[in-house]
Amino acid sequence: MTVALGEPVGDVTFLKPDGTPIELRSLLGKPLLLVFLRHLA
Amino acid sequence: MQKIYSDIKAMGADVLVVSFAPPALIAAFLAESPQPFPVVADPERKTYQAFGIGSTNLRGFLRLGVIWHYLKLMFRGWFPKGPKGADVWQLGGDFVIDPTGRLRYAHASKDAADRPGNEELLSALRLPPEQDALSGKSA
C-alpha cells in the first residue's frame, strides 16, 4: 500500500547503524525530510 | 544534501536519510565518511515500497540525462564503490513528513538522476503559519 499525500505515514520502523530499531514517530514534532538513497556512496 | 542541511536545521526542520543497505554496512560507511545527518536502514525496503519508490533498468540508465548526471559526478571525483551484489537498479526519493506525521510532499525518483532541487525541498519543508504555530515555532 502506498502512502498518499496528506495521509498519515503510520507506524514506520528503521534500523540504526548499530542495528537497534528507531520509530519514525519518535522524530516527529517538526517537519522531517526523508531522503531514500539509491546507494550509500 | 550536505549543501542545504544547515538551512534545513535553521528553519527548525530535520533530515533522516534512509538506505536499504544493512545496518553494519551503513556503520562502516559512516566510520569512513561521517555525515552530519542520521542515516538509518530499511534493508527489507518496506518503506521504499510504502512510498512508491520503484526500480530502474538498463534502458533507464542509458538515458542521456542519467549518463550526463553520472559523468558530472565522476568529473568531480565520485566513483561508485558499492558492495558487490548491491542492487544498482533501486531508485530513491525525497519525502516530507509534517509535524503530525502526515505526508506533505512526495518525489519518488523516475530515474537515477531524477532529484528535486534544493529550493523545492526547502519550500516543501516550510510550514504554513497555522502548522508553524502548532509545532511551537514562530514563523
Give the dihedral of Cα atoms B127, A3, B23, B58; nearest 10 deg: -110
Mean pLDDT of chain B: 84
Secondary structure of residue B114 in the 3-state scheme: coil
More confident residue, B134 or B101: B101
pLDDT at A41 over 90: no
pLDDT tier at A10, thresholds 50, 70, 90: confident
pLDDT of residue B69: 77
Find the mean pLDDT for residues A14-29: 95
The CA-CA-CA angle for residues B84, B89, B92, to 5°, reads: 110
Cβ neighbours of B112 in A, within 8 Å: 38
pLDDT of residue B15: 96
Q: How many beta-carbon pairs below 8 A join chains A and B?
A: 161
Rounded CA separation A38/B21 (Å): 10
For residue B19, give the nearest of B117, B90, B84 by alpha carbon.
Answer: B90
Cell of A5: 499525500
**What is the spatial order of strands in the sheet that B93-97 belongs to?**
A21-23, A13-15, B39-41, B14-19, A32-36, B93-97, B103-108
Lowest mean pLDDT, pick from A7-11, B112-116, B117-121: B112-116
pLDDT in tens, B55-98: 877 777 778 877 787 788 778 876 666 665 577 788 999 999 99
The contact set of A with B (CB < 8 A) is 1-10, 12, 14-19, 22, 24-25, 27-41
Across the interface, of A10, A29, A38, the residue whose CB is closest to B112 is A38
More confident residue, B50 or B111: B50
Instruction: Specify whether the CB–CB gap between B128 and A22 falls below 8 A.
Output: no
pTM of the model: 0.79
Instruction: Specify whether the CB–CB gap between B116 and B94 falls below 8 A.
Output: yes
